[in-house]
Amino acid sequence: MQNPVPFFIHSLTALSNCLAKAEAFAEAKRLKPEVIPNLRLVADMFPLARQVMIATDHAKGAPARLAGIEVPSFADTETTLEELRARIQKTIDFLKTIPETAFDGAEARTITIKAGPRELTFPAVQYYSGYAIPNFYFHMTTAYNILRSNGVDIGKVDFLGA
């Protein structure tokens, strides 16, 4: 299986850069540090902070599971953009520790995850392409949309990364 780490690092870096623009926006508008992380796209969706947490969970979880190593647990306590950017960096730092050779034979693995009260089991390729990547992008896109819909000056190039 191809090493997914560079893909996640690239996308997480783009997300961090979007959050940096949101920090500058918040400073210019004199917003309290907790305002932007608590914004939602719609009332019944998770706020920005939770969207970023879940995106980083998928970004660290998918490569770890495919590599057959333990997924690190993060406390989910971030409340500011600065803390969310630090979480992204912590995720990137973890991803850089996974050797490329860890993905040799990954396509033959079976992946079991807990999703709420349920346990889901997938062949590795189905887990990666049909579960982990769509979930990662859902939360990345929702985070982007929350920022964009609230006036942060970001666009498609920011989302895709330079």
Q: 145, 52 in Cβ contact below 8 A?
A: no
User: What percent of the chain is modeled with pLDDT above 90?
Assistant: 96
**How many Å apart are CA 104 and CA 87, to the nearest integer?**
28
The predicted-structure confidence for 26-75, as pLDDT tens digits, reads as follows 999 999 999 999 999 999 999 999 999 999 999 999 999 999 999 999 99
Q: What residue ranges in 46-117 does DSSP mark as E strands?
A: 110-115
Residue with tokens 């980083």: 56
- pLDDT for the residue numbered 115: 86
The predicted-structure confidence for 83-135, as pLDDT tens digits, reads as follows 999 999 999 999 999 999 999 999 999 999 998 899 999 999 999 999 999 99
Q: The pTM is what?
A: 0.96
Asked if the model's pLDDT at residue 162 lies above 90, the reply is no
Q: What is the mean pLDDT of residues 138-142?
A: 98
119: domain range?
5-160
Q: What is the dihedral of CA 22, 28, 31, 37, to 10 degrees?
A: 0
**How many Å apart are CA 32 and CA 135, to the nearest integer?**
30
- Domain of residue 135, CATH code: 1.20.120.450
- What is the count of structural domains for the chain? 1
